[in-house]
């Protein structure tokens, strides 16, 4: 599987989701303007290469909170919606300012669950995206937090990992990138288990993999690892490959698009045929500990010293 990701260079229509932890400062929750500007420059380069790009962006709550002068993160759903309502327009203004430096048009697209589930609404939403992309406009997507009777009937999407997967399905994207606060998928929570192994490639999402995701969930942002697995199901079933990567270094997007082996790659149904999940070998530290365990097997007390 060494050269397996080379084909990612050929991806044409790409959905990129940037999470709250990617576009805001963790200590304040306010928008990270420096990183957002770099992100826009990366997108412009992708457009210059002939790619079509759709952005699913978090950050509206943080921008709204800053504008409202709130010192603490919103504690209730109503406060979050208020911050999002204030922040959404301001977040778009920031995006537009950075994109305008390259004379690039953007469009705000607010979706509801109805836009995805209702066949007629879905058709109209897809038509809008196609029209925007045909005119070289970059759609910037978020969920519409305004509650309506229709949304009460259809439910809410809830977080942007799932929203990004729905968008990838809706527009027929061939690649979905989730930029988050984690390197990718591990066999367990790396903060609690030193013996975890990194999962480079997922060809099949089975029950054991879903159990791993539950153990490796993150508390940062809105969506944990379980939501990312659910997003992968939606995206790969729709024919898109998906990559989870750490957004701390925003230039990781370039590495992914250049076919580098970063993050966890979830293969679409088309590309998963004949492939197996690729899990990193045990770390040298873990191998040493495992070897020592074998040597002293049968003893009632085992002292592994500092190797654990």
Asked whether the beta carbons of 194 and 285 are under 8 A apart, the reply is yes
226 annotated among ligand-binding-site residues:
yes
Asked, for residue 132, whether it belongs to a domain, the answer is yes
Decide which of 238 and 196 is more confident: 238
Q: How confident is the model at residue 192 (pLDDT cuts 50, 70, 90)?
A: confident
Asked, for residue 81, whether it belongs to a domain, the answer is yes
Asked, for residue 302, whether it belongs to a domain, the answer is no
Asked, for residue 287, whether it belongs to a domain, the answer is no
Mean pLDDT, rounded, for 52-69: 91
What's the CATH code of the domain at 211? 3.40.1160.10
180 annotated among ligand-binding-site residues:
yes
227 annotated among ligand-binding-site residues:
yes
222 annotated among ligand-binding-site residues:
yes
169 annotated among ligand-binding-site residues:
no
Domain extent, residue 200, equals 4-282
Asked, for residue 303, whether it belongs to a domain, the answer is no
17 annotated among ligand-binding-site residues:
yes
Q: Give the predicted TM-score (pTM) of the model.
A: 0.85
- The predicted structure's pLDDT at residue 2: 44
CA atoms within 13 A on the CB side of 11: 31
Asked, for residue 259, whether it belongs to a domain, the answer is yes
254 annotated among ligand-binding-site residues:
no
Asked, for residue 64, whether it belongs to a domain, the answer is yes
Tokens of 189: 């929570």
93 pLDDT higher than 70: yes
225 annotated among ligand-binding-site residues:
yes
Q: Which of 128, 153, 174, 206 is nearest to 271 (CA)?
A: 174
Q: How confident is the model at residue 290 (pLDDT cuts 50, 70, 90)?
A: very low
Percent of the chain topping pLDDT 90 = 51
Measured CA to CA, the distance from residue 109 to residue 105 in angstroms comes to 13
Per residue in 115-130, pLDDT tens? 888 899 999 999 999 9
Asked, for residue 8, whether it belongs to a domain, the answer is yes
List CB contacts of 106: < 8 A, sequence separation 6 or more: 92, 95, 96, 99, 137, 138, 139, 140
- The predicted structure's pLDDT at residue 283: 62
Mean pLDDT, rounded, for 60-64: 87
Asked whether the beta carbons of 249 and 182 are under 8 A apart, the reply is no
228 annotated among ligand-binding-site residues:
yes
Task: Domain count for the chain, please give it.
Answer: 1
- The predicted structure's pLDDT at residue 188: 81
Instruction: Calculate the average pLDDT of the chain.
Output: 83
């Amino acid at each position: 599987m060494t050269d397996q990701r080379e084909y990612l260079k050929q991806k044409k229509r790409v959905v990129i989701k940037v999470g709250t932890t990617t576009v805001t400062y963790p200590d304040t929750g306010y928008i990270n303007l420096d990183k957002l500007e770099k992100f826009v420059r990366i997108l412009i380069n992708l457009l210059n290469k002939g790619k079509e790009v759709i952005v699913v962006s978090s950050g509206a709550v943080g921008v709204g909170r800053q504008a409202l002068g709130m010192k603490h993160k919103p504690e209730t759903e109503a406060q979050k919606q208020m911050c999002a309502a204030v922040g959404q327009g301001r977040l778009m203004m920031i995006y537009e300012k950075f994109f305008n430096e390259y004379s690039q048009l953007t469009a705000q697209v607010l979706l509801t669950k109805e836009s995805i589930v209702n066949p007629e609404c879905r058709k109209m939403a897809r038509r809008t995206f196609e029209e925007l992309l045909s005119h070289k406009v970059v759609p910037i997507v978020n969920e519409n937090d305004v509650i309506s009777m229709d949304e009460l009937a259809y439910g809410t999407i809830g977080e942007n990992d799932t929203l990004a997967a729905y968008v990838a399905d809706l527009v027929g994207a061939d690649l979905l990138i989730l930029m988050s606060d984690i390197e990718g998928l591990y066999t367990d929570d790396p903060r609690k288990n030193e013996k975890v192994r990194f999962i480079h490639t997922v060809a099949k999402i089975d029950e054991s993999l879903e159990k791993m995701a539950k153990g490796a969930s993150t508390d940062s942002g809105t969506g944990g690892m379980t939501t990312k697995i659910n997003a992968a199901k939606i995206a790969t079933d729709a024919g898109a490959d998906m990559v989870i990567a750490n957004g701390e270094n925003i230039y990781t997007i370039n590495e992914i698009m250049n076919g580098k082996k970063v993050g966890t790659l979830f293969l679409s149904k088309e590309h998963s045929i004949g492939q197996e999940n690729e899990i990193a070998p045990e770390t040298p530290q873990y191998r040493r500990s495992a070897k020592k365990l074998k040597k002293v097997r049968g003893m009632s007390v085992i002292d592994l010293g500092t190797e654990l």
